[in-house]
Amino acid sequence: MSDAVMAYPWQMPQWQQVCQLLEEQRLPHALLFSGPADTGKKRFADAMLAGLLCEQPRQHLCCGECKSCNLRSQGSHPDLKVICPHEGKRQIGVDQVRVLQQFTGQSAFREGGKKLVLVYPAEAMNAFTANALLKTLEEPAGDTVIVLLSHAPSQLLPTIRSRCLQMNFGIPPEAAALSWLKNYVGDDAQARVVLAEAGGRPLAARAMFENDSLNESLQFDQGLSAVAAGSKSVLQLAEEWQGGEPLTLLEWWLRRLVALIRHHNTGEPVAEGWQAFLGIPPVAVFEHYDEALQLRAKIQRGANLNKRLMVEKLLLEWFALRR
């Protein structure tokens, strides 16, 4: 027996929208779920697709007990195709997408059912892959539903975005995220700390708590503070940081820049050690933030960057803003 799949509590507005589309038989053939990572888009898509596959759905939720639900939970349902980068790869291969035309052109295994496709993250498609998907979007079979998940929808082709119903999944309300997170953390105060450190993203906060990676962020803060105080050089810090995961470092960096921007706008406190950077003009912080975002996007697309040079450049440019 498989388990029923449900959306997260903070996704009820989007879930009600999907339910209304289903009840009015207006569910489009292509949907784009967009928003920050670690907010639950994948779980929402899984819940929706599971309900569509289920033989005995209950208020559009899968029963978790029928043959279709068991096939789905085992990853072997013939009417569901999941496309994501292969293990060890950052991009979705064009061959993975080309098979969709044949897949969607076939009749559904279950009589009266739909052929379902999930593509994530959609920005992992290069130009060739995106164009291959576009052909399927332009000529969809009548019983096909394609769901794209994207953390950065602006990186998708405008022609792909225009052919999808777009639903946004932003940072959830703090109260809803805390209520869910406390079930894992246990302590209200600690849940608040780890949620704030994760930028309000509840799934990232849970992972941070489970992996005890909060200490990693504090170590980053201490290293930067040491350079600001003159007890360590930029090159020494770059040497220490070059062995880590670039995306982890950049996520921390972006969180701290956002906190600095909020401080300028609302007076919210910044992390320990970042008081040394309060004098940097907000416009310069924004420009540096945009550059860091572009750098993260390059890494997510699979760019082969020299980690040591990347960290040195990031730090040198940042400390140059203090002068």
- Mind listing the pLDDT tens digit for each residue in 159-184? 999 999 999 999 999 999 999 999 99
pLDDT of residue 115: 94
Cβ–Cβ < 8 Å for 145, 107: no
CATH class of the domain comprising 9-168: alpha beta
Q: Do domains 9-168 and 213-320 have the same CATH topology?
A: no
pLDDT of residue 140: 77
pLDDT of residue 1: 39
Sign of the torsion formed by the C-alpha atoms of 288, 292, 293 and 297: positive
CA distance 121 to 298: 14
pLDDT of residue 214: 80
- Asked if residue 9 has pLDDT above 90, the reply is yes
Architecture of domain 213-320: Up-down Bundle (1.20)
How does the average pLDDT of the chain come out, rounded? 90
pLDDT of residue 4: 65
> Where are the domains positioned within the chain?
9-168, 213-320
pLDDT of residue 40: 96
Cα 5 to Cα 71, 83, 85, 197: the distances in Å are 14, 19, 23, 28
Q: Which residues of 239-259 are buried (b: 16+ CB within 10 A; e: fewer)?
A: eebbeeebeebbbbbbbbbeb
The stretch 229-250 carries a mean pLDDT of 89
The stretch 300-312 carries a mean pLDDT of 84
CA distance 113 to 24: 17
The stretch 244-261 carries a mean pLDDT of 88
